[in-house]
Amino acid sequence: MTLIVTEVSDAFGCVAVGDSAVTIGNRVVYGAQKLHYSSLANLGFAVWGNACLRGHRVDDLLSSYVASLGSSATPRAAGRELAALLAHEGALDGRDWERLRGGVHICGYENDLPVLFHIHTGDDPPATQGPFQLHEDYPDGSAGCQLRNGYYKIFAGLFDGMEHYAQRLGGLGYKWPYERIEDRVSYYSIMVDTVARTLEAARRVPSVGGSVSAFAFNRDGIQVDKRASRGTEDFCSSKDTATAASFGEATSNFSWCGLT
C-alpha cells in the first residue's frame, strides 16, 4: 500500500510527503521514489498506484521525464505531456486498465497561482478505468487544497485529530505548524509515519512504510528537500512481480480544500 499527500496554498507553496513502500501480493519492498521535483521548471510530482509499465519501474519513468523538463514547462503543459506518455506506455503494456490503475499529482504555479493537478486512470472502482488523463482539479489552490492517495482512511481521521491538536497547542501558546514551510513538511511527515507505525502495530501486512520522503517549494524554488534515495531492488524485473507490484490500494482518491 502507499500513502502520498500533496498540498498547495499561497501561504506555504507546494508540499508533498509520501512513503516508499511497494506491495507485491503479500510482500512489501521499499525504496520506491514516489516524489520528484524539477528545479528548472519548479514543478513537483507524486506517483501512486500500479508500479510497473512494460516491465519497468514507473518511478524511474517519471524520474526520466522530470529530468527532461526545461524552465518554460508549466503544470498544465507538463501534465498533458506526461499523461500522454503514461497512456502510451500503458497501451503498450497490454494489461487491462484496471490492472494499470494509478496516477500522479502535479503541483506548481500557473499564472502565478498555486495549482494542483492530477493525472489518473479514472475515479475509484467500480468506475471504469481507461488511459491516463490530466484532471485540472485545483487551478487556484491559494486558499489551500490537498490530494491524498493510497491508504488515506487512517490518515483522514488522523488529519482531523491533528488539526484539533494543533488548535489546542495554539491555546497553550504554541503555533504549530502554521508559521513556516518546514513546519508544514514535518506536520505531514509525522502523520504519514504515524499511519505506517499504526498499521505495523495492528499487524496489517502489506502496509504503508519505508522511509518517508518530503519536499516543499514556493515561487522562489525548493525550500525543503527530504527526499529518500532510490532503492536498488528492481521490483519490475520478474514478470510475476511486475504484473502485481503496486504503489497503492484499490480505493484511493481523496481531496480536500481549506487551510485552518
- Its pTM stands at 0.90
Which DSSP symbol is given to 96?
-
Q: What percent of the chain has pLDDT over 70?
A: 87
Q: Residue 191 is placed in which grid cell? A: 502523520
- What pLDDT was estimated at residue 193? 83
Task: Give which of 49, 34, 51, 23 is closest to 205, Cα–Cα.
Answer: 23
- Domain-embedded: residue 256: no
Residues 120/134, Cβ–Cβ less than 8 Å: no
Residues 105/137, Cβ–Cβ less than 8 Å: no
- Domain-embedded: residue 234: yes
Cα(25)–Cα(183) distance, integer angstroms: 36
Q: Residue 163 is placed in which grid cell? A: 488539526
For cell 487551478, what's the residue? Answer: 139
Question: What pLDDT digit, counting tens, does each position of 139-169 carry?
Answer: 999 999 999 988 767 777 777 787 788 888 8
Can you give the residue range of the structural domain that contains 183?
A: 3-250
Question: What pLDDT digit, counting tens, does each position of 210-251 carry?
Answer: 788 999 999 999 999 999 888 877 888 766 666 667 765 544
SS3 assignment, position 116: strand
CATH of the domain at 58: 3.60.20.10
Task: Give which of 208, 214, 184, 211 is closest to 195, Cα–Cα.
Answer: 208
Average of pLDDT values for 165-190? 86
- Domain-embedded: residue 259: no
- Domain-embedded: residue 257: no
- Domain-embedded: residue 255: no
∠ Cα 178 148 94 (to 5°): 150
- Domain-embedded: residue 72: yes
State yes or no: pLDDT of 126 exceeds 50.
yes
> Which is more confident, 254 or 167?
167
- Domain-embedded: residue 258: no
Top mean-pLDDT range of 30-44, 151-165, 196-210? 30-44
Q: Mean pLDDT in the chain?
A: 87
SS3 assignment, position 190: helix
Total number of domains constituting the chain: 1
State yes or no: pLDDT of 202 exceeds 60.
yes
Average of pLDDT values for 53-72? 96
Residues 36/216, Cβ–Cβ less than 8 Å: no
- Domain-embedded: residue 219: yes
Top mean-pLDDT range of 14-18, 153-157, 177-181, 198-202? 14-18
Residue-wise burial string across 182-211, b where 16 or more C-beta atoms lie within 10 A, e elsewhere: bbbbbbbbebbbbbbeebeeeeeebbbbbb
